[in-house]
Structure 1
Amino acid sequence: MLNLAISVIPILLLIWMMTKRNALPSHVALPATALLIGLLQLVYFGTSSQLLAANVISGALSALTPISIIAGAILLNRTLNVSGAEDVIRQWLEGISKNQVGQLMIIGWAFAFMIEGASGFGTPAAIAAPILVGLGFNPLRVAMLALVMNSVPVSFGAVGTPTWFGLGNLGLPDAELLDVGRLSAIMHTVAAVIIPVIALKFVVNWQQIKRNFVFIQLSIWSCTIPYVWLAQWNYEFPALIGGAIGLTLSILLARYNIGLEKQTTSEEENKATTLPFHVVFKAMAPTLLLILILIVTRIKQLGLKGMLNDATPLLHLNLGFADLHLSQALIIKLSNILGTDTSWAYKTLYVPALIPFFLVVLISIPLLKMNKTQVKQVVSDTASRIKTPFIALVGALIMVKFMMIGGEHSPIMTTGNAFADLIGKNWQYCAASLGALGAFFSGSATVSNLTFGAIQQSIAHNVGLPENTILAMQSVGGAMGNMVCINNIIAVSTILGIANKEGYIIKRTVIPMVLYGVIAAVVSIFI
């Protein structure tokens, strides 16, 4: 019991620090919590200082993955903004529909759904949220909408990585893994009837939602019907293809005002928003190129994914404190850090930072005819925005590393097992919550599945619950945990220029997350 209390107290303290009236900013609260957990590991759990130091190095370096993605997303966002392309995109979207709900569903739901299917890594919010802010929506409200909307497709994000990779170490036959994906898709699809509506409430009022409810549901189902159908026989493409179909249908529905509240516009306004095709295409080219590169580098069958993940050794050096490995695909890896089994790796070409964000920005500079002054402004804006989030992310990832030290007796495992022992056969109603807890800590549905998949499998066997159903709930939990995931909140806040609102966001996004878990539990009873 004392082990459980020692494991839980730092997390409760972190939540309190970030959600109290005068909340501490994440770049203070997260490093402070990491320090506290480190002290507890040293003094109470008896962890060696050498192992703690190794995890500090690994955790700090792990921040390079999210911060490089954030930096790339901000660079692209500022490039589109400074060059004027963002204004053109805004005018084009307004030409499709001036209806706010229509714009939010096209970009915040369907477009983000497709991007999640192609890439994951928090890129949907990074790409979609700035477009919505460019349309005149409040940045803080858009951040919350983006976080809540980006939950349904996540189990099949980055071409199914949370499913086939996150649960791939459990030794499941392919047919069972497919069944887990199928069950999680059904749970997500039922939740999708309500969750996007709640997300919209962060930005527009209930009257607007009611007046456009038919369009909202048509847009939702245009993504989820192909999504849940594809999941019956494939766990890689449901979100990608479902999102692409949904985006196309949502644009067509909005174009012909199907299910949307009628809005009167003058002839002059219509002419003002009608732009020549070549102007729109040029402004959209960086975003279209980004999507194209994401798709061709994520689909295994095209071959590029394998090349970008090629682990064939190229170079090996002993740095004294660790062994440095460099692969053919420029994967940088440190192993045996400070003589421990702690390691760190960065997939230089596969993490969506250099490819596609930085690459697209380099192509966009001449394409959009940007001058040196504009380029300097873009770089300066990006550098100024990533300083504070970098500190927060370093704190968050060191905290996660400390929570996972100890294997079966680590604080994070102790917490998960304690909940399972307490709840027993009623675990089915809480399984998704453990998945969400993993995403909250790690910032990734994939890591949540890797961390807690084995626990969920063991609990299912021990208490006699259907294994595939419990694993599906773990997958759903990891996806819905995106709403309160600290990494994602910091990322979208940074990209939108929001400061010190992480606690405020968590207090509001936790409500739809809890509702999501309830829906998943109810659906699991019937399936």
Structure 2
Amino acid sequence: MFVQELAPLAGSLALSALAATLPLATVLVLLGAVRMKAHLAGLIGLAVALLVAVVLFGMPVGQALSGAVQGAAFGLFPIMWIVVNALWIYRLTVRTGHFDVLRRSFGRVSDDPRIQALIIAFCFGALMEALAGFGAPVAISTVMLVALGFSPVKAAVVALVANTAPVAFGAMGTPVVTLAQVTGLPLESVSSIVGRQTPLLALVVPLLLVLLVDGRRGLRETWAPALACGVAFGVVQFLAANYVSAQLADIGAALAGAAAVVLLPHSRKPARAEVKASVLTGAATETLDGSDSRADIVRAYTPYALIIVIFSVAQLPPVKKLLDGATWKFDWPALDVANAAGKPVSGNIFSIPFLSTGGTLVLLAGVLTAIVLKVAGRDTVREWLATVHELRFAILTVVSVLALAYVMNLSGQATTIGTLIAGAGAGLAFLSPILGWFGVAVSGSDTSANALFGALQVTAAHQAGLSADLLASANSSGGVLGKMISPQNLTIACAAAQLTGQEGNLLRKVLPWSIGLLLVMCLIVVGQSTFLSWMLP
């Protein structure tokens, strides 16, 4: 048995914590300063984590390598298993043309560009975040807004800012699933708390979007549909995250937000000429023109309806019990780790939920989608393989980051860092969202930030006497606000809007909003740790 030590270097906690930060520092410097590709930075960071674990923290080589393999295995299943199958469904809708049908149906709701920004960037972007994540919402929303006549810069800024509230539950709940796994906390617990934090952002972001699109006039004239959109989104996200399923939170919230806008009579008023002239300063294209039959529109919405139905049925007690019965739990080979108190850590046991995992349920929805959209079996398989190929570098990144995180957690590096920063005491409640924000700003992924800092947050919370569930959840909720300033997302936005080399310009425009909303989230978490504790489950 390998027993973790809090201060293996000369008995000094500070010195040991400094050494334990080397893997994280390596990844962050390679990503942020050297601008190395994420998958390469992750692999180098993993090598540093293994070196620190073996040489400085005394972990046996075999156990360190075994821990890395376990992290990589979790990165493949269930994490990337969810992402691949979700993006596969999106590719099927693009292949059959039903993606264009869907976005045309959104575009017909209103000719007011401020309302279109709400529906496309916030609601439809959230739907894309729910299914695909990993930058897809920003790219797709930006292209659609530019097609409507938004200036490329405004379209990119609106898409970046809109990609906040849904991120923690993106890619079928992948960030919170990862957070639960690396921290050992129940998924229901972290999902519930994140679902009591990010919905508060949803109340603000739509109002901010109409302000970005048309200044004070936009806020004055369209605050009602913006507020209705935010309230509907936030309420459904809260209900789904707390009482239904983390995987359904964004899908339900996106559809509810869009429905709230569509059903509000104010949203359907024709836009005044001066509003269009002021906002639509770019060159509109014909890509959103065309008529669609009712049958095509129904088929375009069918994939999302299938996902909702399948995940809802999977939550029924008899069905849930049946699916859980296919879960395989076993002692991970060549791994026997105890914490500093001598108690075995949860990482010694690995669980493979073959049927109950979100990826398998999404796979079922994808098969049914292919049937409904009349995609031939050979083409369906070809699209799945193409999805894997498209995500090959993302898969390698996630696998390497999860392997790094597992090595840090199992060797005791994360515990040592967490014990040191616990000295901030009650101030940790304010700092926790900032740590998540920083992680996402550098890595571009809430999933990666949760893998890197989740266990650290839990350790610090235990040492400081704060709620581990709250601080771990704050890592994810704060992280969503770093998404808009991450180099990865800025590059995606520039590419979609054909703004080559203007990442710095976009950063200057979105950074104040990122920091401002982060401050709001920090205050929310501080409140929930003290006088707003009634908000927690």
**Does the pair score TM above 0.5?**
yes
Question: Which of 253, 276, 300 is 2:264 aligned to?
Answer: 253
Aligned 8 A contact 1:185 1:227 in 2 = yes
Amino acid at match of 1:432: P
Question: Which of 472, 475, 478 is 2:476 aligned to?
Answer: 478
Alpha-carbon spacing, 1:46–1:227, altered in 2? closer, same or farther (3 Å): closer
Deviation at 1:485, TM superposition (A): 8.0
Structure 1: distance between partners of 2:57 and 2:272: 60
Structure 2: distance between partners of 1:194 and 1:475: 20
**SS of residue in 1 equivalent to 2:358:** coil
Q: Which moved more, 1:334-343 or 1:87-96?
A: 334-343
Match of 1:223 in 2: 233
The alignment status of 1:63 with 2:64, answered yes or no, reads: no
Alpha-carbon spacing, 1:192–1:73, altered in 2? closer, same or farther (3 Å): closer
| Uncovered stretches (5+) of structure 1, i.e. residues with no partner | 311-328, 462-466
Aligned 8 A contact 2:179 2:451 in 1 = no
Aligned 8 A contact 2:157 2:506 in 1 = no
Structure 1: distance between partners of 2:505 and 2:324: 35
Identity %: 16
The alignment status of 1:135 with 2:144, answered yes or no, reads: yes
The alignment status of 1:337 with 2:333, answered yes or no, reads: yes
Deviation at 1:38, TM superposition (A): 0.6
Alignment deviations for residues 184-215 of structure 1 (CA, whole Å, 9 cap, x no partner)? 766545444445566789x9686896575553
Deviation at 1:473, TM superposition (A): 5.1
Alpha-carbon spacing, 1:222–1:350, altered in 2? closer, same or farther (3 Å): same
Alignment deviations for residues 249-279 of structure 1 (CA, whole Å, 9 cap, x no partner)? 12323884369777779xxx9x965533222
Question: Which of 439, 455, 459 is 1:451 aligned to?
Answer: 455
Match of 2:417 in 1: 415
Match of 1:19 in 2: 32
Alpha-carbon spacing, 1:193–1:279, altered in 2? closer, same or farther (3 Å): closer
Match of 2:307 in 1: 290
Deviation at 1:392, TM superposition (A): 1.5
Deviation at 1:491, TM superposition (A): 11
The alignment status of 1:150 with 2:163, answered yes or no, reads: no
Structure 1: distance between partners of 2:372 and 2:384: 17
Structure 1: distance between partners of 2:231 and 2:133: 19
**SS of residue in 2 equivalent to 1:63:** helix
Alpha-carbon spacing, 1:42–1:69, altered in 2? closer, same or farther (3 Å): same
**SS of residue in 2 equivalent to 1:344:** strand
The alignment status of 1:39 with 2:51, answered yes or no, reads: yes
Match of 1:88 in 2: 101
Match of 1:279 in 2: 296
Amino acid at match of 2:90: N
Alignment deviations for residues 428-477 of structure 1 (CA, whole Å, 9 cap, x no partner)? 4224345667987982898799736754653553xxxxx56x85454233
Deviation at 1:76, TM superposition (A): 1.3
Amino acid at match of 2:55: V
Structure 2: distance between partners of 1:454 and 1:112: 31
Alpha-carbon spacing, 1:144–1:294, altered in 2? closer, same or farther (3 Å): farther
Aligned 8 A contact 1:70 1:126 in 2 = no
**SS of residue in 2 equivalent to 1:218:** helix
Deviation at 1:86, TM superposition (A): 1.2
Deviation at 1:54, TM superposition (A): 0.8
CA RMSD for the aligned pairs? 5.1
Aligned 8 A contact 1:87 1:134 in 2 = no
Structure 1: distance between partners of 2:329 and 2:495: 32
Alpha-carbon spacing, 1:168–1:99, altered in 2? closer, same or farther (3 Å): farther
Q: Which moved more, 1:434-443 or 1:239-248?
A: 434-443
Amino acid at match of 2:141: L
Aligned 8 A contact 1:80 1:86 in 2 = yes
**SS of residue in 2 equivalent to 1:405:** helix
Deviation at 1:162, TM superposition (A): 9.6
| Uncovered stretches (5+) of structure 2, i.e. residues with no partner | 1-13, 147-151, 278-285, 338-347, 533-537
The alignment status of 1:355 with 2:361, answered yes or no, reads: yes
Structure 1: distance between partners of 2:50 and 2:290: 57
Aligned 8 A contact 2:17 2:413 in 1 = yes
Structure 1: distance between partners of 2:354 and 2:159: 28
The residue correspondences of 1:347-496 to structure 2 (distance < 5 A) are 347-356=353-362, 358-371=363-376, 374-375=379-380, 378-406=383-411, 410-421=412-423, 423-433=424-434, 443=447, 451=455, 454-455=458-459, 457-459=461-463, 461=465, 471-472=469-470, 474-482=472-480
Aligned 8 A contact 2:198 2:477 in 1 = no
Alpha-carbon spacing, 1:497–1:340, altered in 2? closer, same or farther (3 Å): farther
Amino acid at match of 2:93: L
**SS of residue in 2 equivalent to 1:149:** coil
Aligned 8 A contact 2:72 2:402 in 1 = yes
Structure 2: distance between partners of 1:236 and 1:489: 34
**SS of residue in 1 equivalent to 2:118:** helix
Alpha-carbon spacing, 1:384–1:452, altered in 2? closer, same or farther (3 Å): closer
Structure 1: distance between partners of 2:114 and 2:520: 24
Aligned 8 A contact 1:104 1:200 in 2 = yes
Structure 2: distance between partners of 1:12 and 1:166: 19
Amino acid at match of 2:40: V
Aligned 8 A contact 1:108 1:132 in 2 = yes
**SS of residue in 2 equivalent to 1:36:** helix
Number of aligned residue pairs: give it.
472
Deviation at 1:39, TM superposition (A): 0.6
Match of 1:309 in 2: 324
Structure 2: distance between partners of 1:363 and 1:349: 16
**SS of residue in 1 equivalent to 2:292:** coil
**SS of residue in 2 equivalent to 1:96:** coil
**Normalised by the size of structure 2, how large is the TM-score?**
0.69
Amino acid at match of 2:29: W
Structure 2: distance between partners of 1:418 and 1:453: 11
**SS of residue in 1 equivalent to 2:268:** coil
Amino acid at match of 2:165: M
Structure 2: distance between partners of 1:258 and 1:4: 59
Deviation at 1:376, TM superposition (A): 6.4
Structure 2: distance between partners of 1:73 and 1:522: 34
**Normalised by the size of structure 1, how large is the TM-score?**
0.70
Structure 2: distance between partners of 1:166 and 1:443: 11
Alignment deviations for residues 116-141 of structure 1 (CA, whole Å, 9 cap, x no partner)? 8xxx7x75678866763673668987
